[in-house]
Amino acid sequence: MIPTQTANLQLDSSGRLKHFLTVEGLSRELLVKIMDTAESFASVTEQTVKKVPLLRGKTVVNLFFENSTRTRTTFEVAAKRLSADVLNLNIATSATSKGESLLDTIRNLEAMHVDMFVVRHTDSGAAHFIARHVAPHISVINGGDGRHAHPTQAMLDVFTIRKYKNDFSKLKVAIVGDILHSRVARSEIHALNTLDVAEVRVIGPKTLLPAAVESLGVSTFHNLEEGLNDVDVVIMLRLQKERMSGAFIPTEHEYFACFGLTEKRLACAKPDVIVMHPGPINRGVEIDSQVADGPHSVILQQVDHGIAVRMAILSMAMRPDLEASAGDRS
């Protein structure tokens, strides 16, 4: 069970970031500060020496109980660019695979004097559980837990949107696909609404939308062309087949026929629309290659921005004395 007072768990006594478990409940000011801090780190990738010494002497443990490529590697790159030491725990060969409890694994790593855990887990609430039980000096970042949340993905997505669409208050954003099983969708909806976008739309078959999804502050559409009409941003989602316990769609071919993003369907959106996808992309299932590689796509830019955003979150959680060097933006 996920605690109801997560915001209090995430912030220290001064209201600064201690853990980053979900965007739900965090203030607009804090989300903007994360983006501003990320902006100040974006230029690091252009330097000859792509490092800053902010977290020198700190140790970050990537504790991934679920397969990942983009999230784990971008966290690793982000931590190393902040000059932290990084330990990637191979769960398949760790003591956890031999029956050691999650809490015992944490205690043993704590004994090595580490400073942060980046956690991905199949169970919703796993990162919250760890955050409630770690030593006071350790920070916990949620790298994705079950169907619940993927807060750093949401932050890199809104950061990407801000790069191309400066004023959130005028934007119509469409999230398309498997909303039901997507932790990314939930985090994005919370982040977008906190940032006061004009409208968040979710588009998909009824079988892939949660019951009472409108309570999250979204408009629902079951027709892709109607849902894309006049939108500024399209976020495509992967079919989460590993989390499906039944037949939610007839076939992938039929799904693409109804909900796959093609150039013709994208023409329903605004002329300057941007297309996003958290990855990995299933071409010909969620999105056509001409769109994924086309002029409206900012999918690769999302990966690049993910490094800067995760640098921001790592530094803010482990160095709460740091302030964003970039000016306030909205």
Query: What pLDDT digit, counting tens, does each position of 171-228 carry?
Result: 999 999 999 989 999 999 999 999 999 999 999 999 899 998 999 999 999 999 999 9
- Same topology, domains 6-149+304-318 and 151-298? Answer is yes
Rounded to the nearest 10 degrees, the angle between the axes of helix 299-318 and helix 28-41 is 110
Instruction: Compute the distance between CA of residue 62 and CA of residue 76 in angstroms, rounded to an integer.
Output: 8
Q: Enter the DSSP assignment of 177.
A: S
What would the mean pLDDT of 74-95 be, rounded to a whole number? Answer: 86
Residue stretches of the annotated binding site for carbamoyl phosphate: 70-71, 120, 150, 153, 279-280
Euclidean distance between CA atoms 104 and 281, whole angstroms:
36
The domain defined by 151-298 folds into: Rossmann fold (3.40.50)
Dist. CA 156–CA 150, nearest whole Å: 11
Q: What is the pTM of this model?
A: 0.90
**Which segments are annotated as binding site for L-aspartate?**
98, 183, 238
Q: State which H helix or E strand residue 283 sits in.
A: none
Residue the block writes with tokens 């993905």? 153
Residue 50: per-residue pLDDT: 87
* Res 107: pLDDT: 93
pLDDT of 244: 42
Radius of gyration of the chain (CA): 19
Contact of 131 with 9, CB cutoff 8 Å = yes
Which residues sit in the known binding site?
Answer: 70-71, 98, 120, 150, 153, 183, 238, 279-280
- Where do the domains of the chain lie? 6-149+304-318, 151-298
* CATH code 3.40.462.10 for 6-149+304-318: no
Least confident window among 90-104, 160-174, 278-292: 90-104
pLDDT of res. 232 = 98
pLDDT at 6 over 70: no
C-alpha pair distances (Å), 114 with each of 66, 85, 256? 21, 9, 46
pLDDT value for 4 = 45
CB 257, CB 249: distance < 8 Å? no
- pLDDT at 245 exceeding the cut of 70: no
- Are 238 and 179 contacting, i.e. CB atoms less than 8 angstroms apart? no
The answer to whether 287 and 260 are in contact (CB under 8 A) is: yes
Q: Specify the higher pLDDT residue, 271 or 69.
A: 271
Tell me what percent of the residues of the chain surpass a pLDDT of 70.
Answer: 89
Tell me, rounded to whole angstroms, the distance of Cα 157 from its chain centroid: 7
For 248-260, how does the pLDDT look when each residue is reduced to its tens digit (9 = 90+)? Answer: 676 888 889 999 9
**What is the 8-class DSSP label of residue 328?**
P
pLDDT of residue 325: 43
pLDDT category at 324 given cuts 50, 70, 90 is very low
CA 263 – CA 290 distance, rounded (Å): 7
User: CA 88, CA 22: separation in Å to the nearest integer?
Assistant: 22
Q: Give the pair of three-digit tokens for residue 175.
A: 């999230």
